[in-house]
C-alpha cells in the first residue's frame, strides 16, 4: 500500500525518486507526487494515475533533494489534492506517508485550521508536525507521540532538512553513490547499494551532511547495524508483456530454486519449533490464506492437527491457544497488516511463531524472528501466482521434514520438478468461458482450495462475479443459481473424491449449466487434461491453468492484469 522514495545528495534527486516510484508502483497506482527544493523553495508536483503521468511533469526538474510517493487511496478519493506529498498549512513542510493515522479526526479538530487542501489523514499529520517546537526531527518525534496508527514518513522542509519516521509500515534507508536514499521496499535499492538499514518501530532518522543519524522515540541517538542487500536474481526473470504472465511462467524455475535451497534440510533445522508440534495453525490473508489451507491439509496428512485461519478473523476471535503448537504466518510481502497484528498478538503471548514469507527483511520476519523463506523472487503483479505455488510447495516440504519423510520422497519430487507442466488454456475455451454471466469453481478437499484460489484470481483481475464452493455444498443452496447462463469449473485431482464430484457435475448439467472439468482423470465431461503426479503435488499443477484462465479473460476484456482496480500488492492497513 503506498510507496515512498526519498533521496538527497550530489545527484538528480527528482529523477532518482521517480525511477524509484516506478519500481514501487505495485504498492499503489492511484496517483503520485514529489516534493523538492528549487531555488531554496519547497515545491510539489502531483499527478493522478500512473507514475508516467508524474514523470512527464517533472522530467526537466533538477533538485538535490526530493521525496516522492505513489498512492493507494485510504482517506479521500483519487484526486490530485489527495495525492502526496502534502504541505503543511504554511507550505514550509511537505510529507509523504504510508500508513493510517487512526485518530486523525480528533487531531484535526484540535489543530484549528480553517482550510484543508485534502481529505487525507496525512495532511493532519504534517500540520501536527508543523505545530510542534524544535528542529524538524524534534517536531516529528513529538508529533508521532500524539498519533495513533501506523506510519512510514519522509518529511522535507523548505531549508532542505530531510527526516524519516517509522511505525509498523516499512521503511529502509541506505547510502548510495553520491547520496542517501530511503524507500518502502529494498528492491528499489538493488544495484544501488550493498548495504541498507531497516528502521524499527518508533525509530527516526535525520539525513545530514551525507550521513544518516538514527534516533529512538525519545530523541536519543541510536547506533544501527546495516544489513546486506539480498541479490535479486533478475536473470531468471521471464520477460513477457505483463508481470503476471512472466510470473506464472517463472513457476517451474522458482519451484526448482526453492527445492535446491531446502534440499539439505538446513533451512528447516535452523528454525525453532516444538519437536513434533501438537498442532500447527496457519494464519494469513487472501491468496496466502489459500496456501495456508493447503498447508493445513499437508500437516493433517502427517497426523498433526492443523487449521488455517483468516488473519482478520483470528485476531478478534476466541481461539484457544496452545503453547505446544506452532503458528505459521504465511505472507508473500510480510507486510500484511492483519497477519502482522496476529503475529504480534501471539508473540506477546509467547506462542511459537514462524513467518513464511517471500520478502527477506519484512516486518513479519522481524516480529517472528523465525523464518521459512520462499524463493519466488520479486512478485510485482498484484495477483499472486508464483508466490502462491512457492508457499504451497514449502509447506509441503516442511510437512515432509517434520514427518521425517523428506529423503524418501526425494526422487518423486525431482521427477515432478523436471516434468512440471505449465498447462495453458486454449483460446477457444477462454472465449467460451468469458461469455458466461456466472462462473463457479468447485472441488473437494485440496481441489476445493484450488477452486477458492482460482475464483479469487478470476474476480481480482477480470471483475467477473464468481465464487468457489465445496462441490458437496452445491445442492445445499447454490444449485438454485445454476442455469444456462452459468458455467461450473470443477477441479478434480483425487481418486477418493472423483465419483462424488462427477455426480455433482451431472446435477449441474441437469439444470442446463455448462461444465468444464480440470482433471488428470479420464472423463466424458468437457475437460482440460492435466498430467498425473502424486496427489499431494497436484494442487501445484491444477492451479496453473486456472491462473492462465484469469489472465486470458482479463486480456480479452482489455484490462491490465498487473494493476487491478481498487487493489494494491501490499495491504498494510487493516
Ligand atoms: C492475491 O492475488 C491477492 N492480491 C491478495 O489476496 C494477497 O494474497 C493478500 O493480500 C495477502 O498478501 P500477502 O501474501 O502479501 O500477505
In the block, residue with C-alpha cell 520477460: 239
Residue 333 Cβ contacting ligand 1 at under 6 Å: yes
CA 336 to ligand 1 center in whole angstroms: 8
Residue 332 Cβ contacting ligand 1 at under 6 Å: yes
Instruction: Name the CA radius of gyration of the chain, rounded.
Output: 25
Residue 440 near residue 467, CB atoms below 8 Å: yes
Residue 336 Cβ contacting ligand 1 at under 6 Å: yes
C-alpha–C-alpha distance, residues 497 and 517, integer Å? 14
Among the residue ranges 185-189, 327-331, 397-401, the one predicted with the least confidence is: 185-189
Instruction: Identify the pLDDT of residue 233.
Output: 56
CATH class assigned to 243-419:
alpha beta
Give the model confidence (pLDDT) of 362-413 as tens digits: 999 999 999 999 999 989 999 999 999 999 999 999 999 999 999 999 999 9
List active site positions.
2, 569
Q: Which of 6, 126, 14, 5 is nearest to 64 (CA)?
A: 14
C-alpha–C-alpha distance, residues 393 and 537, integer Å? 8
User: H helices of 136-189, where?
Assistant: 136-146
CA 86 to ligand 1 center in whole angstroms: 29
Query: Residue 236: is its pLDDT beyond 80?
Result: no
Nearest-atom number in ligand 1 for the CA of 336 is: 16
Instruction: Identify the pLDDT of residue 232.
Output: 63
pTM equals 0.90
CA 385 to ligand 1 center in whole angstroms: 10
Fold topology of 427-556:
Rossmann fold (3.40.50)
C-alpha–C-alpha distance, residues 205 and 212, integer Å? 6
Give the model confidence (pLDDT) of 524-564 as tens digits: 999 999 999 999 999 999 999 999 999 999 999 999 999 89
Instruction: Identify the pLDDT of residue 573.
Output: 72
Side-chain-side CA neighbours of residue 298 (13 Å):
28
Residue 379 near residue 247, CB atoms below 8 Å: yes
C-alpha–C-alpha distance, residues 45 and 360, integer Å? 33
Phi, psi of 284 (to 5 degrees): -170, 180
Nearest-atom number in ligand 1 for the CA of 391 is: 14
- Strand ranges inside 306-384, DSSP E: 306-310, 325-331, 352-357, 371-373
Which residues in the chain are classed under CATH 3.60.20.10?
3-228
CA 555 to ligand 1 center in whole angstroms: 21
C-alpha–C-alpha distance, residues 310 and 291, integer Å? 11
Using left for φ > 0, alpha for ψ between -120 and 50, and beta otherwise, residue 202 falls in left
CA 408 to chain centre: 34
Residue 380 near residue 492, CB atoms below 8 Å: no
Nearest-atom number in ligand 1 for the CA of 460 is: 2
Q: Which of 365, 305, 303, 286 is nearest to 329 (CA)?
A: 365
C-alpha–C-alpha distance, residues 167 and 150, integer Å? 5
Enumerate residues 6+ apart whose C-beta is below 8 A from 350. Answer: 323
Which residues in the chain are classed under CATH 3.40.50.10490?
243-419, 427-556
Residue 573 Cβ contacting ligand 1 at under 6 Å: no
- Grid cell, residue 545, equals 491453468
Query: Residue 58: is its pLDDT beyond 60?
Result: yes
C-alpha–C-alpha distance, residues 348 and 346, integer Å? 5
Element (H, E) at 490: strand 486-492
Instruction: Identify the pLDDT of residue 245.
Output: 96
Q: Write the burial class of residue 136 (CB in 10 Å: 0-12 exposed, 13-18 middle, 19+ buried).
A: buried
Residue 548 near residue 558, CB atoms below 8 Å: no
Query: Residue 319: is its pLDDT beyond 90?
Result: no
Architecture per CATH, 3-228: 4-Layer Sandwich (3.60)
Residue 383 Cβ contacting ligand 1 at under 6 Å: yes
Give the model confidence (pLDDT) of 77-115 as tens digits: 889 999 999 999 999 999 999 999 999 999 999 998 888
Instruction: Identify the pLDDT of residue 165.
Output: 98
Amino acid at each position: 500500500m503506498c510507496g515512498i522514495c526519498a533521496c538527497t545528495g550530489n545527484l538528480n534527486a527528482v529523477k532518482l525518486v521517480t525511477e524509484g516510484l516506478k519500481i514501487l508502483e505495485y504498492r499503489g497506482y492511484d496517483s503520485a507526487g514529489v516534493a523538492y527544493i528549487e531555488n531554496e523553495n519547497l515545491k510539489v508536483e502531483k499527478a493522478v494515475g500512473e507514475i508516467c503521468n508524474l514523470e512527464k511533469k517533472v522530467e526537466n526538474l533538477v533538485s538535490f533533494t526530493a521525496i516522492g510517493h505513489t498512492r493507494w487511496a485510504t482517506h479521500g478519493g483519487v484526486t490530485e489534492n489527495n495525492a502526496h506529498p502534502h504541505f503543511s498549512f504554511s507550505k514550509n513542510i511537505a510529507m509523504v506517508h504510508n500508513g493510517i493515522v487512526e485518530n486523525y479526526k480528533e487531531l484535526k479538530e484540535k489543530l484549528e485550521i480553517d482550510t484543508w487542501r485534502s481529505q487525507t489523514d496525512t495532511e493532519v499529520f504534517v500540520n501536527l508536525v508543523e505545530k510542534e517546537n524544535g528542529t524538524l526531527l524534534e517536531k516529528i518525534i513529538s508529533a508521532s507521540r500524539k498519533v495513533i496508527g501506523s506510519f512510514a514518513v519522509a518529511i522535507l522542509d523548505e531549508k532542505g532538512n530531510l527526516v524519516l519516521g517509522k511505525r509498523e509500515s516499512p521503511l529502509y534507508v541506505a547510502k548510495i553513490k553520491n547520496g542517501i536514499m530511503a524507500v518502502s521496499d529494498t528492491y528499489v535499492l538493488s544495484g544501488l547499494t550493498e548495504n541498507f538499514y531497516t528502521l524499527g518501530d518508533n525509530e527516526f532518522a535525520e539525513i545530514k551532511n551525507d550521513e544518516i543519524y538514527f534516533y529512538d522515540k525519545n530523541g536519543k541517538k541510536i547506533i544501527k547495524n546495516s544489513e546486506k542487500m539480498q541479490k535479486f536474481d533478475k536473470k531468471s526473470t521471464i520477460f513477457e508483456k505483463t508481470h503476471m504472465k512472466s510470473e506464472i511462467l517463472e513457476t517451474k524455475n522458482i519451484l526448482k530454486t526453492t527445492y535446491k535451497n531446502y534440499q539439505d534440510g538446513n533451512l528447516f533445522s535452523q528454525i525453532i519449533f516444538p519437536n513434533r508440534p501438537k498442532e500447527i495453525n496457519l494464519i494469513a490473508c487472501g491468496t496466502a490464506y489459500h496456501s495456508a489451507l493447503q498447508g493445513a491439509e499437508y500437516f493433517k496428512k502427517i497426523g498433526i492437527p492443523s487449521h488455517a485461519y483468516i488473519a482478520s478473523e483470528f485476531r478478534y476471535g476466541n481461539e484457544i491457544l496452545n503453547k505446544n503448537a506452532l503458528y505459521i504466518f504465511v505472507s508473500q510481502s510480510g507486510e500484511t497488516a492483519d497477519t502482522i497484528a496476529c503475529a504480534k498478538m501471539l508473540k506477546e503471548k509467547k506462542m511459537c511463531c514462524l513467518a513464511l514469507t517471500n520478502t527477506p527483511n519484512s516486518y513479519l520476519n522481524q516480529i517472528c524472528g523465525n523464518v521459512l523463506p520462499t524463493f519466488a523472487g520479486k512478485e510485482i503483479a498484484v495477483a499472486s501466482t508464483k508466490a502462491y505455488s512457492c508457499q504451497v510447495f514449502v509447506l509441503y516440504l516442511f510437512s515432509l521434514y517434520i514427518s521425517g519423510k523428506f529423503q524418501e520422497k526425494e526422487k518423486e519430487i525431482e521427477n515432478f520438478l523436471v516434468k512440471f507442466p505449465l498447462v495453458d488454456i486454449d483460446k477457444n475455451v477462454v472465449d467460451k468461458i468469458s461469455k458466461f454471466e456466472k462462473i463457479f469453481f468447485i472441488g473437494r478437499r485440496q481441489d476445493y482450495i484450488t477452486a477458492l484460489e482460482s475464483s479469487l484470481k478470476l474476480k481480482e483481475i477480470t471483475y467477473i462475479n464468481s465464487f468457489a464452493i465445496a462441490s458437496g455444498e452445491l445442492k445445499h443452496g447454490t444449485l438454485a443459481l445454476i442455469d444456462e447462463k452459468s458455467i461450473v469449473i470443477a477441479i478434480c485431482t483425487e481418486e477418493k473424491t472423483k465419483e462424488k464430484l462427477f455426480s455433482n457435475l451431472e446435477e449441474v448439467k441437469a439444470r442446463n449449466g455448462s461444465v468444464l472439468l480440470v482433471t488428470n482423470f479420464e472423463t466424458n465431461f468437457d475437460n482440460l487434461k492435466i498430467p498425473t503426479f502424486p496427489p499431494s503435488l497436484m494442487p501445484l499443477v491444477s492451479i496453473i491453468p486456472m491462473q492462465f484462465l484469469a489472465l486470458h479473460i482479463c486480456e480479452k476484456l482489455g484490462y491490465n492484469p498487473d494493476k487491478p482496480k481498487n487493489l494494491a500488492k501490499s495491504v498494510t492497513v487493516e
